[in-house]
Amino acid sequence: MTLKHLLSHVKVLDLSRVLAGPWSGQILADLGAEVIKVERPGAGDDTRAWGPPFLKDENGANSKESGYYLGVNRGKKSITVDISKPKGQEIIKALAKEADVILENYKVGTLDRYHLDYESIRKINPKIIYCSITGFGQTGPKANHLAYDFLIQAMGGLMSVTGEKDQKPGGGPQKVGIPIIDLITGSYATIGILAALSNRAVTGEGEYIDMSMLDVQVGLLSNQAMNYLMTGKTPERGGNAHPNIQPQDVFKCSDGQVVLAVGNDGQFEKLCAAMGFPEWSKDERFKTNAQRVKHQSELRPLLDSAFITQSRAYWTEKMEQAEVPCGPINSVAEALHDPQIVHRNMVRTLDHPVSGTVPQVMTPFHFKNASIKADTAPPLLGQHTLNILQELGYSQEGIEKLRSDGVV
């Protein structure tokens, strides 16, 4: 039986570039949507040049496909269009008329100048779901400011609670090691789009979605924000130690490090027994989570002295047997080759016209009665321009004229 693709009935016009918008577009493509990526003639998405590394062609030479670009554009079709030219705007409007969804992340007001903003598009397609992604949103004193993930991590409070304490070696604010706000903004954008599509199926109405990276970051402060709002005390960096639950931290073993994530008093009791010190769980300083948080400076040395005596594998296995959450701090290479990740088929190889094949990390959907549509590599710049224009009714002569005029 051939499994269905859940969004095979959806057509997406992806005017976004860099990461948050393309990430959303890739999720929608994996779910089966037809996603047409619009890029600048000659240059394309900024991330195409964000290397090394670059994909090697079959002769071992660098191609123009960076790893950054290849990680967020799977399953799309690429058309090159200069939207600053009237003829280019005509092409975008023709595509928009047939689209269900538009994704864009231009600076506020840019698409208004080209009559490609939401109000202009909905005149020709009232049912359009139009999602704008910006650093600060469409309104407010910073609406016109530019932003990148690093800046938003700083402004939104994330870096203030990430990293070791100032007084410790290596202390100071740290960003997350991946562009986490771009990625989660793209994920939230996808949720908003799917909700709007669901509503349209009932009401027949389109929607405009205003996604702000700073809004997303502040929303993600979750428990740290609540800690402040309930106490008035500003959260501080605490390294890897959890501010509300103990013991949850990084511990050194004889050959590396593990994370211990004890979530309740029962797990702590099992931990103590597994480590050979059942008396710790009876100690009044450690019997409850609230007491362990209060006395973590006394608990920590006891755990340190035990973990350092054995290897990562020893403690991981010991804690698995005791049903205590614990695992090694894996490198990226170790994570991608973890038997669980291999079993879940999270890393696959797709055919590619330049290199022969290209590796891909999959979208983490596993459906019972459907499948993801992860069978097409990220497109070459303008790879589908000719076919898309022909489908819109352009003649060969007309397409050649557009090319000679620099429109496509």
Say which CATH number the domain at 15 has. 3.40.50.10540
Looking at the structure, do residues 268 and 177 belong to the same domain, yes or no? Answer: no
Token pair of 338 as six digits:
């973890």
Is 236 part of a structural domain of the chain? no
Looking at the structure, do residues 184 and 260 belong to the same domain, yes or no? Answer: no
Residues 33, 11: contact at Cβ < 8 Å? Answer: yes
Query: What whole-number distance in Å separates Cα of residue 209 and Cα of residue 221?
Result: 22
Looking at the structure, do residues 85 and 57 belong to the same domain, yes or no? Answer: yes
Is 239 part of a structural domain of the chain? no
Query: What whole-number distance in Å separates Cα of residue 389 and Cα of residue 13?
Result: 14
Give the end of a domain, one of 281, 299, 332: 332
Q: What is the pLDDT of residue 158?
A: 97
Specify the CATH number for the domain of residue 257.
3.30.1540.10
Looking at the structure, do residues 323 and 356 belong to the same domain, yes or no? Answer: no
Is 158 part of a structural domain of the chain? yes
Looking at the structure, do residues 196 and 105 belong to the same domain, yes or no? Answer: yes
Is 229 part of a structural domain of the chain? no
Q: From the CB of residue 61, how many other CB atoms can be counted at a distance below 10 Å? A: 9
Residues 99, 128: contact at Cβ < 8 Å? Answer: yes
Looking at the structure, do residues 68 and 207 belong to the same domain, yes or no? Answer: yes
Task: Please count the helices (runs of H) and the strands (runs of E) in the chain.
Answer: 17, 13
Query: What whole-number distance in Å separates Cα of residue 121 and Cα of residue 124?
Result: 6
In DSSP terms, 251 is beta-bridged to 258
Q: What is the pLDDT of residue 2?
A: 66
Q: What is the pLDDT of residue 64?
A: 87
Residue 254: domain span: 248-332
DSSP state of 2: P
Looking at the structure, do residues 295 and 383 belong to the same domain, yes or no? Answer: no
Q: What is the pLDDT of residue 239?
A: 87
Looking at the structure, do residues 150 and 179 belong to the same domain, yes or no? Answer: yes
Residues 6+ apart with CB under 8 A from 239: 163, 164, 165, 168, 249, 250
Looking at the structure, do residues 327 and 346 belong to the same domain, yes or no? Answer: no
Distance of CA 390 to the CA centre of its chain: 34
Residues 213, 182: contact at Cβ < 8 Å? Answer: yes
Q: What is the pLDDT of residue 388?
A: 98
Looking at the structure, do residues 126 and 260 belong to the same domain, yes or no? Answer: no
Is 86 part of a structural domain of the chain? yes
Is 4 part of a structural domain of the chain? no
In DSSP terms, 286 is beta-bridged to none
Give the end of a domain, one of 287, 311, 332: 332
Strands 129-134 and 101-104, sheet pairing? parallel
Is 6 part of a structural domain of the chain? no
Q: What is the pLDDT of residue 229?
A: 96
Q: What is the pLDDT of residue 168?
A: 87
Residues 172, 154: contact at Cβ < 8 Å? Answer: no
Looking at the structure, do residues 141 and 42 belong to the same domain, yes or no? Answer: yes
Looking at the structure, do residues 345 and 328 belong to the same domain, yes or no? Answer: no
Q: What is the pLDDT of residue 396?
A: 95
Give the end of a domain, one of 303, 332, 361: 332
Enzyme catalytic residues:
182
- The strand ranges marked E within 184-298 are 207-212, 248-253, 256-261
* Number of domains observed in the structure of the chain: 2
pLDDT, mean of each 10-residue run, the chain (408 residues): 86 97 98 98 95 91 93 98 98 98 97 97 98 98 95 97 90 95 98 98 98 98 95 92 89 95 96 96 95 94 96 96 95 96 96 95 94 94 97 96 96
Q: From the CB of residue 145, how many other CB atoms can be counted at a distance below 10 Å? A: 15
Is 41 part of a structural domain of the chain? yes
